[in-house]
Structure formats: C-alpha cells, structure tokens
Amino acid sequence: MKIGLLQCDHVADELAELHGDVPDLFLNLFRRAAKDLPFDVSIDIFNVMNGEYPDLSVPHGNGYDGFIGSGSRFSVYDQIDWILAFKKFVKKLFAAEKKFVGICFGHQMIAEALGGACGNSARGWGLGTREVVIRRPMPWMKPALNAYRLIVSHADQVDTLPPNAEILGGNDHCPCSMYMAGSHFLGIQGHPEFTPAFAEDLMISRLERLGAKVIDDAVPTLKESTDEIVIAKWILNFFR
C-alpha cells in the first residue's frame, strides 16, 4: 500500500532528537500496524509548509492508495499562505475522489475546506488519553471496537460538519471526534501516531501556554492503554 503523508508541522528540534519528526512518528505507527498484515506499507512525505504536493494529474495519482494530513500547532482558520494553499489542495482531493484521512489539524481542515467550521473549544484543551464512543460502526472498522482510546492534543475542534458528512464517534469533550465526509474523507481528532513519552514531553514544552494544572491532570492518563494500532489498521482498511 502506498500512502502520501501531507506534513503540516515539524516536531521542535529538542523533542525531535528524542522522538523523531512528524514523518518518523507516522512511519513507526504503520510499521507496527503492518507487522501482521499481508501487504507492505510505504509512505512518501510531502512537506506542504514548503509547497510540496503530489501531482494528481498523473494517472491514478501516482498510485497512492490514500493521503494523510498530519497535525499542526497552527489553526486551520489561520490566514497563512501555506494553510490557504493546503485548504485548496484538500478541496482538490475531495473533488478528485481521492481517499484522505485527516489527523487533528487534518481532521479540522476537512471541515474548513468543505464548508464546515472549526473554532477554539469552550471546553478547554483536550489533552492526554481520551475515550471515543463509536456512534456509527463502518465495515472498515476491523478489528471492531465499541469505543477506542487515543492520545489527544488540541484546543480547536470541529464545530460544524461540512455537507454530506456524518459523525462516527465522539465524547462529551469532543462530540465530533471522528467523522466521514462523503465516502472517501475521514477525520480523526486524536493522534494515533503519538507515543506517551512524546505526548508528555510535548506538554511539558508548552508549560507556559497550557498551565501546570492542565498538564498535571493529563499526564497520569498517558499510562492508560490506547488503541493506536487498531486505529492505524482502520486507516489502512479505509484506504483499501
């Protein structure tokens, strides 16, 4: 399986030395998920902050089975050139009926690009490990779960779904934690690519922004079990 990763941020240098950059986090995730699968997974990296994009004019989109949009420290509604260009590309992907999975910032960009809306959550930061209850099971959700647990790190949320979208899973803090737009776009608010160690170091590096109490409440939840391998397999099933 061939995946195009649309990279929307870098891990800060001091954290990247310990945990790797954004592509390393995704590569590690899918290597773990593909261990018991009957096919290989390859990932090409496109740094959209530098204007790097796959050429969709090539027949079959260069053979990509799907694309993933990563998380980012930025907001999808920021009026920054590369974000505006990424928004246009997401629209192009949707029109071309290419499969796309948005993670966190990518999840929110689906809504922003397709006519929905995102904003800063009145419920505050979503941090640590959170459970998401599946509201609508889909055939690609194998192995099946009634609920999954993932590490989250976000202040923004999807407030309004785009047309022809439906929520697949949510919780009280983030009602729209997973959704589909059409049959080929999937948004996931959580971070299956995050490890507990990386998530803790990331929170500590943002102490002034987050505040000590928020971090102290979130860090213990990182010891809880998570379902990132299952979610990675759902993504691969979605692309097949």
Which sequence positions are flagged as catalytic?
104, 191, 193
Nearest 5°: phi and psi at 159?
-95, -40
**Which CA distances in Å does 126 have to 121, 130, 237?**
9, 8, 27
Indicate the burial class of 158 (C-beta count within 10 angstroms; 0-12, 13-18, 19 or more). Answer: buried
Q: Which residues pair with 103 in a beta bridge?
A: 188
Distance, in Å, from the CA atom of 1 to the CA atom of 128, rounded to the nearest integer, reads 31
Q: Which of 239, 100, 114, 91 is nearest to 164 (CA)?
A: 114
Contact 33, 227 (CB under 8 A): no
